[in-house]
Amino acid sequence: MPKYYIHQDIEISNTEELLLIYDKEILISEHKIAKIPGQKVITREHFREPKKKIQELKDEVLNMFSFSLWQSFAMESFRHFPRYVRDQCMLAKKHFSEIKNISNLEAAIEFCLENKSHSFKDLHDSMVNLAEKDICNYEKSTVLPLPHIPSVNVQQRKVCEYEAHIHPEVAL
């Protein structure tokens, strides 16, 4: 459903296969009804900004960050996925619109370019992986060494003593 209608009053009706959403008497959206209860049915068109031209989306993505590595990665993504530029732009906007740690993003871009992974999904996964490694490195660096524990001499028994407990008739 278009974002404009969030927190607005709407009317909903349904047929056997469709859920119909109206603003007053104007149909604004329709969704397939899941055949299995609990099943998710997603209309991707709602998330793809179909009214925007591809060039507008590309420009938005290219202008998200000013450093040249971002520009290079975005251009490579558009070049490698010409049929899916809109999807790549939507992924970029979804995953990178609120990035605060630019150094992790740069490191992830370098990793993706080195490994010829040009999708924004791969870039996102690389960033998550780097963030997890940073947390692990931080935790490792803050762990204090254990104090020295003196060794303890433990008395060792012969096997026949244990056998006597298991099979007392043999020990006789």
Mean pLDDT of 113-132: 91
29 and 81 part of one domain: no
Q: Are residues 35 and 93 in the same domain?
A: no
Those residues with Cβ within 8 angstroms of residue 95's Cβ, 6 or more apart along the chain or in another chain: 120, 121, 123, 124, 127
In a shared domain, residues 39 and 100: no
Same domain flag for 58 and 112:
yes
User: What's the rounded mean pLDDT across residues 11-20?
Assistant: 88
Q: pTM score, two decimals?
A: 0.56
Share of the chain above pLDDT 70, in %: 85
More reliable by pLDDT, 144 or 162? 162
CA distance 114 to 90: 23
Q: How far is CA 82 from the centre of its chain?
A: 23
Residue 44, by phi and psi: left (phi above 0), alpha (psi -120 to 50) or beta? alpha
The domain of 38 spans 3-47
With respect to residue 172, please indicate whether it lies within any of the assigned structural domains: no
Residues 79 and 137 in one domain: yes
Position 42 scores a pLDDT of 74
Are both 66 and 27 inside the same structural domain? no
Contacts of 99 (CB under 8 A, 6+ apart): 65, 105
More confident residue, 48 or 72: 72
Query: Please, what sign has the CA dihedral across residues 69, 74, 77, 79?
Result: negative
**Mean of the per-residue pLDDT values of the chain:** 83
Query: In terms of domains, do 69 and 136 share one?
Result: yes
Between these two residues, 134 and 66, which has the higher pLDDT value?
A: 66
Number of domains in the chain: 2
Query: Are residues 58 and 126 located together in one domain of the fold?
Result: yes
Residue 102 has a CB neighbour count (10 Å cut-off) of 13
Q: Provide the pLDDT confidence category of residue 92 given band limits of 50, 70 and 90.
A: very high
Give the pLDDT mean for 104-114.
92
pLDDT score of 138 = 47
Judgement on whether residues 108 and 67 belong to the same structural domain of the protein: yes
Residue burial 4-26, b: 16+ Cβ < 10 Å; e: rest? eeeeeeeeeeeeeeeeebebeee
Task: Name the one residue in this structure whose structure tokens are 């803050």.
Answer: 142
For the cut 70, the answer to whether the pLDDT of residue 135 exceeds it is no
Predicted pLDDT at 154: 82
Same domain flag for 63 and 137: yes
Alpha helices of 68-119 — where are they, by DSSP H? 68-80, 85-96, 102-114
* Residue 51 pLDDT: 75
**97 and 135: one domain?**
yes
**Mean predicted confidence (pLDDT) in 79-88:** 92
pLDDT at 45 over 70: no
C-alpha–C-alpha distance, residues 24 and 96, integer Å: 37
